[in-house]
Amino acid sequence: MQSEALTYLFFILFFCKDVTLFHFLSKVLFLRGHLIGKLALATFNVLIMANTGAYINSMSKLCSLILFMYLIEVVIFFEGPRLTKSVFSLMVPLYGIINIILVAAVLSLWGEAGLAGTFTDEHVLLYVRIGSCVLTILCTSVFISSNLHHYCLLLKNKHHKLIIFFALEIALMAHLFISALMFNSYNDYSLGLITLSSTGADLCIFLISLFMLVGFEMMEDKKNKSNPTLMDLMYKSLVTDKSEYMVEVDCNSGLIVNYMLRGESQEIFVGTSYEKVGRALLDEKMHIEDKAIYYASTNLSHMLRNLSEGISSWEYEYRLISEDGEFIWYRDFIMVSGDENGSNALIVTNNIQSEKSLTYCATIDDLTGIFNRRSTQESIDRYLATHHSGYLIILDIDNFKLVNDNLGHGVGDMVLKEVSQKLTGLCRPDDIVGRLGGDEFIMFLKTTAQLNIIDKARQLCNEIEHTYSRDGIYVTISASVGICGASAQLNNFTKLYEEADKMLYVSKEKGKNTFTIAAATLATA
């Protein structure tokens, strides 16, 4: 009865111990499934222990089981840089084996069975396992509460330190297996004392080495906090600005140094490949039209090239698809800095959908979806400030009043929408199309090269002409068009509009459904 109770107690403590260990590991490496992953792995390990108990009849076999069990699980289920995974996949079983041997050695000295008796006496073995679980839980909890994992994260990018520590782990593991062999056949009290002393020394070496590595990072981190750099100050400034994401990247190693989501640190991304995270975003969520500019602005070679050319900051905009299938606008601000020790980039992402929505409402005609009068004029003036070419085309819809009076305003609205769609279809992507008000529309064709304006005007009139009907009433619309070309003299919207408007009224006087081009424009066409 006592043996059964101790067995259940061991399984419960072993489960708690593994959850605690995996919780610590998940703060340094990324675990698939997070909480569910921790619970599933801990449960799986309990089942392994429950089904292998009959076969574990020596300390060396128990140590081998622990080593390979955790080693395989960390490699398969955790994600992170290869060297970091190697160090931490060995750290967990190493620490567990040290605790088991320490507890077993203490009990062998306390009791009368000696080292070998640890595995011949079922109760003693359970006490060893329970004691090692309790010890591991307590120590790991101290590690977590002391924020040790934060400084372990900083070690991710210190490859030379990790290599030294990994080599030390291998040496300690080899020595522990030698100590484990002493449990197989010896009952001598002095050997128990030697085992306890040597394993205690192993534990001291392990902890001192770990805390020396972490200690240097703690001192450096404290120094950085007491002497904030420009990038540190930007962090604080940008956090208060409520950015969506903030990512700091080591441009030389390509690894993420810091990752924050809405002001909260996301440590699972620290130490992972920046380009891998960026590619996932590019492939899965980004609007196809924005992929080129995003990649060109964010790849590491571009950042280093800009830094070498004295360009320390830039920004760009792009769209990401949301969970409900809508594309949301974001703006990234990138700042790069570097010295003889290396180069870092800070990428700050802000959601600008509300800004875009306000801009859209201020520039777009509600009914037709094309530019309104103000944004049309501003866009044309902006272009003419640096170019003295292009054609301004004004058109009125003939018989539009008859449509409203005889077919209703609903049909009238449909006419306006269809006309705007036809005008957009006649233009190139960089041309300007707008509604000035009522049934008056405007087009500005930016490039005059290889463009026959007479053919374009004829195509426009043919495209607009259409007959609408309702309840047996038919009304045919068409377009009266006025055209004027930009020049050194006609170099702003107002001047061009005045000339094109005169041509529009000439077309109306001709009987509608026609176009008139300014004489000066025809002479140079």
Instruction: Return the structure tokens found at 227.
Output: 């002497």
Burial of 325 (0-12, 13-18, 19+ CB in 10 A): exposed
pLDDT in tens, 447-466: 767 788 999 999 999 999 99
pLDDT at 221: 53
Percent of the chain past pLDDT 70, that is, above it, reads 78
* 110-120 per-position pLDDT tens digit: 665 555 555 56
CA-nearest of 124, 69, 75, 122 to 97 is: 69
pLDDT, tens only, 470-482: 989 999 999 999 9
The C-alpha R_g of the chain, in whole angstroms, comes to 37
DSSP codes of every residue in 367-428: TTSSB-HHHHHHHHHHHHTT----EEEEEEEETHHHHHHHH-HHHHHHHHHHHHHHHHHHS-
pLDDT tens sequence across 78-106: 877 778 788 888 888 877 777 777 777 77
Q: How many CB atoms lie within 10 A of CB 136?
A: 24
Domain map (residue ranges) of the chain: 2-226, 230-356, 364-524
Right CATH for 230-356 from 3.40.50.300, 3.30.450.20, 3.30.70.270, 2.40.50.100: 3.30.450.20
Q: What is the residue-averaged pLDDT of the chain? A: 80
Residue 321 has pLDDT above 80, yes or no: yes
Q: Would you state the pLDDT for residue 175?
A: 75
pLDDT value for 411: 93
Higher pLDDT, 40 or 123: 40
pLDDT tens digits along 403-425:
999 999 999 999 999 999 999 99
438: number of Cβ within 10 Å: 11
Q: Please say whether the beta carbons of 181 and 194 come within 8 A.
A: no
Q: CA dist 244 to 263, 274, 333, 436, 520, Å?
A: 8, 17, 12, 38, 54
How many C-beta atoms surround the C-beta of residue 113 within 10 A? 16
Tokens 């960026």: give the residue: 278
pTM of the model: 0.45
pLDDT of residue 420: 94
Could you give the C-alpha distances from 331 to 231, 259, 302, in angstroms and in order? Answer: 19, 17, 18
Whole-angstrom distance, CA of residue 260 vs CA of residue 266: 5
pLDDT band (50, 70, 90) for residue 467 = very high
Question: Which of 46-60, 177-191, 426-440 tops mean pLDDT?
Answer: 426-440
With tokens 């140094």, the residue in question is 257
Query: What's the rounded Cα separation, in Å, for the pair 28 and 157?
Result: 12
Cβ count within 10 A of residue 252: 14
Q: Check whether 240 has a pLDDT greater than 50.
A: no
Structure token digits, residue 419: 């006309």
Q: Are 516 and 507 in contact (CB under 8 A)?
A: yes
pLDDT tens-digit map of 245-264: 888 888 877 888 888 887 77
pLDDT, mean of residues 337-358 = 79
- Read off the DSSP letter of residue 156: G
Q: In what order do the strands lie in the sheet with 342-351?
A: 264-265, 255-261, 245-250, 342-351, 327-339, 313-321
Cβ atoms within 10 A of the Cβ of 337, count?
17
What count of residues does the chain have? 525
Inter-residue contact 347 to 318 (CB < 8 Å) = no
How is domain 364-524 classified at the architecture level of CATH?
2-Layer Sandwich (3.30)
Is residue 241 over pLDDT 50?
yes
